[in-house]
Amino acid sequence: MEHRSVETHFTDLHAGRTLTPADLDEEYAHRSPETPASAQTTRWVRANFVSSLDGAISVEGRSGALGSMGDKTVFHRLRALADVVLVGAGTARAEDYGGAVISAQDRGARTARGQAPVPPIAVVTGSGRIDADSRLFSGEVPPLVITSKTAPTERITPLRKAGAEVVIAGDDAVDPHAMIAALTERGLPRVLCEGGPHLFGDLIDTDLIDELCVTTSPHLVAGRGGRMAASSADALRRMRRTALLTDQDGFLYTRWVRDRSQQ
C-alpha cells in the first residue's frame, strides 16, 4: 500500500491545531488528562490497535496493510513511552515480532525519566509454545516470557537458555492480575499491550485496562478479520475519549481512558 507522504502532520480535532512531536507525547502521557503532570503513575495498562472502518484488525492475518506512516509514528511513540511491551504469543508469531527499536533521542528521554533505554517485549503464553530461534531473541533486550506453572518444562527450558526471563503468573493458566503485578514488581508499571484479541479480552474482563488507543484506517475490509477483543463472556467497561487526532491521509487516532466514575 502506498502512502502519500513520509512525514505525518497530526491535527488535534478538539483544539484545531497541528501537533509538534512534544505535543504528541503529551497527548499520550501515562495518566488521565486531569492528573497533574508531576504525578507519578504506579500502574498504567494501555492497549494499542489499528482497525478498519468495519472493525477488522487484520488483513490476511496481519495488521500491516491497515497502517500508515502516521500509525507507525504513534506505534513508535507509545513504545518509546512504555516500560514494557506486552503481546500474546499468537500475535508475536503472526507479526514476526522482534525486539523494540528505540531512537537515540528517545533513549535519552527514557533515561531522564528513570526508564531503561529500551523496553523489553513480554510474551504471554500459557503453553510455552515459542520458538527459541525466533526474532524475539535477536533484540537488544532479552524478552520476558509470561506463563503458568503447568507450562511444559521441555518448552520453557530452551527459552531460558536463549536468554528469556521466564515469569510464572498463574497455576493452570496465566492470571492477568498476577501478570501485571509481576511486571510492576520488576519496575515495569507502564504496560503497552499490542494484542492479540484474547489477551486484550482477558485484560478487559479482569478490569485491568486503563487506556485504549485506536488508529482507525480509512478502509473497508470485510472478510474474516477478527475484532480487537475476544473473551468467553461480555464485560461492559465505560471509557472516555481524551484525544481525537487526524492526519493528511485521513486516518483517525483516538485515545480512550477508563471512566472509573461509572463503575
From residue 245, give the alpha-carbon distance in Å to each of 22, 86, 199, 239.
Answer: 15, 25, 26, 17
User: Does residue 29 surpass a pLDDT of 90?
Assistant: no
Alpha carbon of residue 7 to chain centroid:
23
What ranges do the domains of the chain cover? 42-262
Q: Would you state the pLDDT for residue 35?
A: 62
pLDDT, tens digit (0-9, with 9 covering 90-100), for 189-217: 999 999 899 999 999 999 999 999 999 99
Share of residues in the chain with pLDDT > 90 (%): 78
Q: Report the C-alpha gap between 206 and 236 in whole angstroms.
A: 11
Q: Residue 81 belongs to what H/E stretch?
A: helix 69-81
CATH code at 42-262:
3.40.430.10
Average pLDDT over residues 54-79: 91
pLDDT, tens digit (0-9, with 9 covering 90-100), for 146-179: 999 999 999 999 999 999 999 999 999 999 999 9
The 3-class secondary structure across 28-45, one letter per residue, is CCCCCCCCCCCCCCCCEE
Confidence of residue 39 (pLDDT cuts 50, 70, 90): low
Q: Report the C-alpha gap between 151 and 164 in whole angstroms.
A: 15
User: Does residue 40 surpass a pLDDT of 60?
Assistant: no
